[in-house]
Amino acid sequence: MDWTNKVVLITGGTGSFGKKMLKTLLAEKNPKKVIIFSRDELKQHEMRVAGYNDPRLRYFIGDVRDRERLVRAMHGVDIVVHAAALKQVPACEYNPMEAIKTNIIGTSNVIEAALDAGVEKVLALSTDKAVSPANLYGGTKLVAEKLVIQSNAYAAGTATRYSCVRYGNVVGSRGSIVPLFLKQRQNGKITITDERMTRFWLSLEQGVHFVINCIEQMEGGEVFVPKIPSTKVVDLARAIAPHAQIEIIGIRPGEKLHEDLLSDDEARHSIELDTMYVVQPAEASWFGYSWKDKGSPLPEGFSYTSDNNSEWLDVEGIKKYIAPFEADFVNGTLEG
């Protein structure tokens, strides 16, 4: 795929993912233009001041809740990366309608605006919490996934195609557990909710390159799931603060012991490749199921969860992941 004549729009572009995606695209793919679409003028200003001022870059203030603004922003756009979301679990639990307005209605607006604007490809970011959701955030992302995938039915007679990427926790992203543990380390006490807890992990760089790879391969209707390592949260705490006291505080409402990236029901219509799983839509006359010829079917009863993973990060492996963020934390540049 040739990116040099493509115009890319990133919703939620001032977030950790958006900024890394922007840097990577400009450095490696040389697109014609990248539009940062977000609602916070201060964060856009801070990006400019921090050096995000490439001539190929545009800043567009708007909210995914505003469909008309999205239509305007997508004029002439070829590719949309939909990363805007309310993602803090406690905030979504306390403000459920706000989560619904952004994560569900906002996603619907992105889908419709892209169709009206003739966008070629829309790739939406999802989360492991969308699989068998235990909290409202996961529930809204499950609905958002369904909206994105099924919208290919509406777009079948046009050039627009929609797919999703679903992955686990991003090391060091804004609001993640790594900045929290780094701050707690200063007090000599790390709090975790349950010592049995496991999570999927990947670096921001891995996440961005996976998204780019999926954009280049997507046909429409897929949910792409990367093969990524798991870690025990208690090992993460030990890697960050080996001498700190660990306090068990109990599982919070809406929190799981283990996360799921692929359910056994989805596995029936998924295929396995070397670096990822591809979930094909269960019922789709508009989708040719060409992925089945590129990979292998999964065995009956297969599921991909953070506790049954074949790839694990031990304490030393975790340290390699978090080393860059420790340096940023010391320098005061890590986003908490």
Active site residues: 129
CA 213, distance to chain mean position in Å, is 14
List, in sequence order, the alpha helices (H) in the chain.
16-24, 41-49, 67-73, 89-94, 96-99, 106-117, 136-154, 177-185, 204-217, 233-240, 264-267, 315-331
Instruction: Say if strands 57-61 and 161-167 run parallel, antiparallel, or are unpaired.
Output: unpaired
For 293, the enclosing helix (H) or strand (E) is none
Instruction: Say if strands 79-82 and 7-11 run parallel, antiparallel, or are unpaired.
Output: parallel
Which residues are CB-neighbours of 27 under 8 A, at least 6 positions away?
Answer: none
In the chain, DSSP finds a helix count (H) and a strand count (E) of 12, 17
Q: How far is CA 284 from CA 120, 217, 221, 269, in A?
A: 19, 18, 8, 12
